[in-house]
Amino acid sequence: FAASCGLTPRQTAGPFYPGESQFTADNDLTRIPGHTLRAEGQVVYIKGQVLDQNCRAVANANVEIWQACASGKYNNSKDPNTAPLDPHFKYWGETFTDQKGEYVFKTIIPGSYPADTDWVRPPHIHFRISALGHRELITQMYFKGDALNDKDAILLDIPAGERDSVIVDFQSSSADLEPGSLTGNFNITLR
């Protein structure tokens, strides 16, 4: 019998998806070509593997991410947040998995932001994963230890036993990556 991998929980894309035409193959959101400064905020590397429900690597899967900058503002005209945009942050990027199903992004920890009068969203990054022969998945990744995680209606909508699969523990990066950066592992399982 094939091994069974737990499917990554589906979550909302939210109102700030930039649209497919906005994405270009770029997995470093901390620098914009032609800018000398890098994005504000704590630099993080998100590494992971895309698997199918039988725990097999999914090669050449398209992985898109989009997020707010360090102030909690999305680069989207629909975002009512009055926080400032970061002119040196890319806000979204995409990459493809290698033959082992592995991907990596370099970005920053996004800021929290008000979603309603009595609700503040915790820092999170939106993911959209698509691969030939698999169902498209939209989910969100959260940062372990953030106090707002315990109050977030979207995260709490995931059954308790599955929540840890979208909450990532970030640790100091290895010496070959940007000094002072953090690295977390976010594996994703598609149907």
Percent helix, percent strand, percent coil in the chain, to nearest 5: 10, 35, 55
- Over 50: is that where the pLDDT of 2 sits? no
Positive/negative CA dihedral, 131, 134, 136, 137: negative
Please give the Cα distance from 49 to 9 (Å, whole number): 15
The token duo for 166 is: 């979208």
Sequence letter at residue 144: K
Mean pLDDT for the stretch of residues 53-81 = 96
Sequence letter at residue 10: R
The token duo for 23 is: 């994405």
Strand partners, 143: 168
List strands edge to edge, sheet with 92-96. Answer: 92-96, 62-66, 124-130, 137-143, 167-168
Instruction: Look at residue 4 in the predicted model and tell me its pLDDT.
Output: 65
The token duo for 20 is: 């497919």
The token duo for 115 is: 């979603």
pLDDT in tens, 78-134: 999 999 999 999 999 999 999 999 999 999 999 999 999 999 999 999 999 999 999
Burial of 22 (0-12, 13-18, 19+ CB in 10 A): middle
